Amino acid sequence: MIELRNVSLKYGDREILDDISLTIADNSIKAILGPSGVGKSTILKLMLGLIKPNSGQVLIDGTDITKLKETELYPIRRKMGMVFQGNALFDSMTIDQNLGFFLRENLNLSEKEIESRVMEQILFAGLEGYEDKLPESLSGGMRKRVAIGRALIFKPHMILFDEPTAGLDPVSSKKILTLISTLKKSNNLGAVIVTHIIDDVFNVADHVAVLYQGKMIFDDVVNKLHESSHPFILSILSDKILEI
C-alpha cells in the first residue's frame, strides 16, 4: 500500500533522509526503529503528504503523492489513520465528543451512524463507562486508546503510530501493543510503528526497518535482526538503550 522510492530530504544543510526506499504491505505490521532525531517521524509525515521530499517518490496505492495538491491529498489521507505521540486529543471535549468530532466535521453521516461508530471504538478500546470523561481524567494508556479509536473511526486501511508506547508503564504498553496486534488479526489492517523501543518491535511487528544516520541499514523480517553484523544493530540487541 505504501512505498518510498529513493527518498532524500534535507533541512537546510542537514541531511535527514538519504536515498531511503521502503515498502509497507497491506495487513502487515512494520516497525521503523531508530534513535531520536534520525528521521523516523519525518517518514510518517512524508506518507501523509504533510511534507515533500527533495527527491524520490512516495506512493500510496500506486499514486505518487509528491505530485498532488493539498486538495487532492484528502482522499489519500482518508486511507490512513494517524496516532500521534502526544495523542492530540481535545482537552475540553469528552471521550465521546473526541471520537465523533471529525466524523461530524467531515462526513455527511446521520447522528445515529456517528453514535454507532463511536460506540464501536469505545468497545474496541475497552473504554466503556468513560464516554463522558475528559482526557485529563484518564491514564496515559487510556488516552492512547482513545487516540487509536479516533484514528480507526474513518475506517482506514492503514494506521500510522508515532512512538505508541513512549512514556507508558509496562502494563499500559502491553495493552497498547495487544490492541495494535488485534487491528491486524481482527480488522485486517496494516500498521506502521515508529519506535525507539526494541521490545515493541519483537512483540508486535512482522517486519522492521532500522534507520541510522539518515540511511536504512536494515529492512527485513524481525527475526533476521539477529543475523545483522552492523554495530548499531548489535548494540541495541545487547540491551543498550537508544537515546530518546
Output the domain CATH number for residue 49: 3.40.50.300
pLDDT at 222 over 90: yes
Distance, in Å, from the CA atom of 175 to the CA atom of 172, rounded to the nearest integer, reads 5
Report pLDDT for 242: 53
Range(s) of the domain holding residue 62: 2-79+156-237
- Report, as an integer, the average pLDDT of 152-175: 90
What pTM does this model have?
0.87
* Closest residue by Cα to residue 32 from 17, 11, 50: 17
Does residue 101 lie within any of the structural domains?
no
pLDDT category at 240 given cuts 50, 70, 90 is very low
pLDDT at 106 over 80: no
pLDDT category at 239 given cuts 50, 70, 90 is low
- Report, as an integer, the average pLDDT of 80-109: 87
Q: How many domains does the chain have?
A: 1
Does residue 126 lie within any of the structural domains?
no
Does residue 100 lie within any of the structural domains?
no
* Closest residue by Cα to residue 42 from 233, 197, 34: 34
DSSP three-state, residue 190: strand
Does residue 114 lie within any of the structural domains?
no
Does residue 138 lie within any of the structural domains?
no
Report pLDDT for 7: 97
Report pLDDT for 244: 40
Question: Residues 18, 8: contact at Cβ < 8 Å?
Answer: yes
